[in-house]
Amino acid sequence: MTSHIAVERKGYISTVTLSRAEKGNALSGEMLSELEAIACSFADDEQTRAVILRAEGDNFSYGMDLDDVTRSERPSLLLLRRQAELGARLIRAIGEIHQPTVCAVQGVATGGGACIASACDFRVAADNARIGYGEVKLGMNLMWQALPLCVHLVGPARAKQLIMSGKLFTADTLAQWGFLDEICAQDELDARTLAWAEEYAALPPMAAQMIKRSINRVAGAMDVAIMHADVDQWLLCVQSEDFDEAISAFKDRRGGEFTGN
């Protein structure tokens, strides 16, 4: 395991912490694989009855590490497509954790960071939180099969604002929209998240976990069938001239000039 993710089990509650604060908890491919394995491990964990997902530092996560996305040496198109499925596997693994999950969000959560938060059952945010999906500004579609999760939380029109604009939205706005379940002061974030976890950990575990799974199945019955092609959309995007321009503009801190090619 890397040194960028920690798991602590205390009583009936397990806490998973992203600890790459010096990089804004940007997600490397290695971290995605590790998070997926951790999420899957709870299936064999009878002691844990609630899971907290949090991050160290000022920001929850800047999303996928651009060094992984833009590395100059790429594998074959066949292998690249398979590798690109890792994010969706992670989001499914988080969503399929049997135990209730609570995400604590502070500072910026964008891209993959917002996807991870949306895959949890509940989201508690510090009042300084700003959340959004910035992929469009990098010339990419939202993938990881995370788009339906956003739609389920806020509805189609607001999901379009969140995903199509690429902007970061404040905690107050996202609480009004239904994306966030609670807002608190920064110094109360861990305590409030723990209180949510303790409430659900105190319930009869079999009943609570079966209810969670049933609700998720009803809400997302068509998600995989509809979103299976988001990897192919991404492959098309990253081979475009607009993708190269978007990455260059981002690194140069300037507006991009896009042609549709």
> Whole-model pTM?
0.94
* Residue 106, in any domain of the structure: yes
* Residue 238, in any domain of the structure: no
* Residue 239, in any domain of the structure: no
Q: What is the per-residue pLDDT across 164-181, written as a single tens digit (0 to 9) for each?
A: 999 999 999 999 999 999
* Residue 54, in any domain of the structure: yes
CATH assignment of the domain containing 109 = 3.90.226.10
* Residue 252, in any domain of the structure: no
* Residue 70 pLDDT class (50, 70, 90 cuts): low
Q: What is the per-residue pLDDT across 4-22, written as a single tens digit (0 to 9) for each?
A: 999 999 999 999 999 999 9
Q: What is the per-residue pLDDT across 214-226, written as a single tens digit (0 to 9) for each?
A: 999 999 988 878 8
The DSSP bridge pattern shows strands 13-18 and 130-132 to be unpaired
Spatial separation of the C-alpha atoms in residues 147 and 223, rounded to whole Å = 9
Q: How many domains does the chain have?
A: 1
* DSSP for residue 55: E
Per-residue pLDDT at 1: 46
pLDDT of 157 > 60? The answer is: yes
pLDDT of 23 > 70? The answer is: yes
Mean pLDDT throughout 30-46?
Answer: 97
Give the domain range for residue 32: 5-187
pLDDT of 72 > 70? The answer is: no
* Residue 218, in any domain of the structure: no
Please tell me whether residue 198 adopts helix, strand or coil conformation.
Answer: helix
Spatial separation of the C-alpha atoms in residues 233 and 33, rounded to whole Å = 22
* Residue 229, in any domain of the structure: no
